[in-house]
Structure 1
Amino acid sequence: MEAALASHQNVNHSLFVELSKSEQKDLLKLVALQGYQLTKCFAIYIGGLYYHCPIAYYHKRLAVNLYEEETGKLSGTANHQVLMERFIRALNISDFERDSTIALPAIQDLINYRRRLVNNPSTFHMGAAAVMIASKGQNLEREGGKLRHDFFSDAYDLTSDDMIFFSVHAKEDIYHVKEGFDLVSEICTDSKMQHDALAAVHETCKRFWRFYNGIYNEYQLTHTITRNLTDNRKRFLKKRNNKEIHNLFSGDTVSEDLVSNVRSTSVHIQSSVNDFATFHAAFRDLGKAWGMGSS
């Protein structure tokens, strides 16, 4: 089981390479908003495991885990979702934008996969493996001696108070992952259960990789659209003497409202357009039709 977890080093994803560059603040905001979708569900996962756990000792341990998730009293902090909200505010993201963000398809798939496992007594062992081992294990991955959150805490001048959500989990999850290994080892009483639990670790880690892919692809898509709009601004204004359009593009950069709309709707674009090259070609053809030339 430990070898299965170690075989997936998601911290090596190119997303974290990009996050180490301080100029990628839009990417960090996207990571925070999508990561928040996972944070909102985590107490539900622990609650499901607590409810279905058949072993008294681990039933109590899960109750302690849930108590910390909901109150933060054991770590002397706060509710863990509140800690994540503190981090998001440090990035100058409004509560409205945070609460109106929709999970990308890959993120929703990860959410649903774990929820199905923890809510079914017959897959309790798989749910424990997915949540207590594979999910919490993500917080312990290192690259070059750095934990995942170190990649952006160093680059974006964030304070220790801003980052407390991550520092708390970096400490607590060492023990939670160990408890996860012990729980799954004890609950899996035959080879099939062991195989299923092992598969759940692999599947969860793969879904985390797709989670990072989804964020990175979303960022690239939005960045490309925004860059094309900015590059074509002057040419567009020359060919279309339209007051409404002129007002929309009257600033030195693309309208913030327009960029916000692009970001909020691009999840639907990504869902319906699987081939980015096809989309980009369609976007270029649309530009020609509007008289903007090629991009």
Structure 2
Amino acid sequence: MDRKHHWAWPSFSGNTLTKDQLKIHFQQEYAVYVRDFPVFLARIHGQNPPSDVRGMLARNIYEEDTGGLSLSRSHPELFNEMMRGLGYHAKEFQDIQLLPASRRYRNWLDRVSANRDWVIGAAALTIFVEGSINDRREIHEPSKPKTQSEIEDIVRQHPLVRYHGLSPDCLDLVRAHQLVEAGHRQDAYAMILPLTREPKRQEAVLACLKKTLHLWLRYRDGVAHACGLKKR
């Protein structure tokens, strides 16, 4: 996860892109994994992992698909609310045409989430897709539940609010994440690591994560290039 960083990310989290450029980014994110993330998790759950793992996956699916642990609205719905706040129309997030590298990454997520070995799919989705370059720090220094005031400070400092005029009222997706994510990364690693001590499975999980990283980097390259960005 230390390598889950893309050269164009400062542009997407800064103040230099137009809303037309941001729309390309958000359309690809939505169609590649945001819209169907609960489906990916449900496929892994359907492989019948141990009961404690099923419980963790079930809670994650419940939150993603209903918001039942936070704000009572699904995360894809909250994403769409954020898009409306930026001035995009709902129809612009229907029948999205994936870029070639986006399609390859999405196809991989479809395949790996249906892998007969649930550990492989869970590693790709809960370790990689949900994780970030900050995972190592989060594991060693777990974040504590945030107060409502702290969450609102995070919302007000969000790049879309600061640079692109998004109303904080449209960022319930960020609020939902902050409400449920304390300890979330620890759960993901606790689900996977105890079952990867056997060398053959460990090698399989590492190979899966390396391929996922490779395809993700190419996916992000494709989005950056579609937005007219060039690596310096």
TM-score, normalising length: structure 2: 0.80
Q: Measure how far apart 1:70 and its partner are.
A: 1.0
Change (3 A) 1:126 1:23: closer
Q: Measure how far apart 1:80 and its partner are.
A: 0.9
- 1:191 aligns with one of 187, 193, 199: 199
Which structure has more relative contact order (CA 8 Å, sep 6+)? It is 2
Q: Quick check: 1:168 aligned with 2:163?
A: no
User: What is the total number of aligned residue pairs between the two structures?
Assistant: 209
Bigger mean CA deviation after superposition, 74-83 or 163-172: 163-172
Question: Does the CA-based 8 Å contact 2:105-2:215 persist in structure 1?
Answer: yes
Aligned to 1:16: 10
The share of aligned pairs that are identical, in percent, is 22
Q: Measure how far apart 1:200 and its partner are.
A: 2.1
Change (3 A) 1:18 1:69: closer
Could you tell me which amino acid in structure 2 is paired with residue 213 of structure 1? D
Aligned to 1:84: 79
- 1:43 aligns with one of 38, 42, 50: 38
More helix, by proportion: 1
Aligned to 1:119: 114
Aligned to 2:141: none
Bigger mean CA deviation after superposition, 70-79 or 164-173: 164-173
Aligned to 2:25: 31
Q: What is the 5 A alignment of 1:1-295?
A: 5-6=1-2, 8-10=3-5, 12-17=6-11, 19-22=13-16, 24-37=18-31, 38-122=33-117, 124-138=118-132, 150-169=158-177, 172-173=180-181, 175-220=183-228
User: d(CA) in 2 for partners of 1:24 and 1:205?
Assistant: 27
SS of match in other structure, 2:98: coil
Q: Measure how far apart 1:131 and its partner are.
A: 0.4
Q: Measure how far apart 1:133 and its partner are.
A: 0.6
SS of match in other structure, 1:161: helix
Could you tell me which amino acid in structure 1 is paired with residue 66 of structure 2? T
Could you tell me which amino acid in structure 2 is paired with residue 79 of structure 1? S
User: d(CA) in 1 for partners of 2:169 and 2:115?
Assistant: 37
1:212-235 CA distance string (max 9 Å, x none): 2111111229xxxxxxxxxxxxxx
- Unaligned runs of 5+ residues in structure 2 are 136-153
1:5-37 CA distance string (max 9 Å, x none): 12x142x52243254125522111111111111
Change (3 A) 1:188 1:23: closer
User: d(CA) in 1 for partners of 2:171 and 2:4?
Assistant: 22
Change (3 A) 1:218 1:22: closer
Change (3 A) 1:39 1:23: closer
Q: Measure how far apart 1:84 and its partner are.
A: 0.9
- Unaligned runs of 5+ residues in structure 1 are 222-295
User: d(CA) in 1 for partners of 2:17 and 2:91?
Assistant: 24
**RMSD between aligned alpha carbons?**
2.5
User: d(CA) in 2 for partners of 1:198 and 1:170?
Assistant: 29
Query: Which stretches of structure 1, 4 residues or longer, exceed 6 Å deviation after superposition?
Result: none
| Structure number with larger C-alpha Rg | 1
